[in-house]
């Protein structure tokens, strides 16, 4: 069944934490408890943008994971690289569409965080600068 590998790719603990962090940010920014709609939409943006980055991490770490984490869905063959790309696109679009429904500023912020996650996975983590 493909649902278990997909659930593993989402790294639910980290995606849930991202969503919760957005809710905390809403509370701080508003100075009060946000409406239920704001809570749900903010959580969803954080959850899906974070999930997209985590899913892409598996794609870009495929060769390393063959050695260090062969049990992960991609190196174990439970899921195909093309499926990871599609899942990442879907989660990205969900996050960005919900952000757009919140506001243009929310869309810009979500897009910036998505771009940072993508760049980190694609190039930046391999070019770490040590101080």
Q: Is pLDDT of 111 > 60? A: yes
- Residue 7: which pLDDT band, with cuts at 50, 70 and 90? confident
> Does residue 19 sit in helix, strand or coil?
helix
pLDDT tens per residue across span 15-47 = 999 999 999 999 999 999 999 999 999 999 999
Distance CA 63, CA 126 (A): 13
- The alpha carbons of the chain give a radius of gyration, in whole angstroms, of 16
Average pLDDT value for the chain: 91
Ordered by where they begin, the domains of the chain are 11-122 (1.10.357.140)
**pTM to 2 decimal places:** 0.88
As a three-state string, the secondary structure of 28-97 is HHHCCCCCHHHHHHHHHHHHHHHHHHHHHHHHHCHHHHHHHCCCCCCCCCCCCHHHHHHHHHHHHHHHHH
């Amino acid at each position: 069944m493909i649902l278990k590998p997909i659930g593993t790719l989402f790294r639910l603990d980290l995606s849930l934490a991202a969503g919760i962090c957005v809710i905390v940010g809403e509370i701080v920014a508003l100075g009060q408890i946000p409406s239920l709609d704001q809570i749900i939409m903010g959580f969803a943006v954080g959850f899906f943008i974070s999930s997209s980055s985590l899913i892409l991490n598996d794609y870009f770490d495929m060769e390393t994971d063959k050695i260090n984490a062969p049990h992960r869905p991609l190196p174990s063959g439970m899921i195909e690289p093309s499926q990871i790309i599609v899942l990442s696109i879907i989660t990205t679009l969900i996050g960005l569409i919900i952000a757009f429904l919140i506001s243009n500023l929310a869309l810009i912020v979500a897009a910036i965080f998505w771009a940072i996650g993508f760049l980190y996975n694609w190039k930046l983590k391999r070019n770490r600068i040590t101080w």
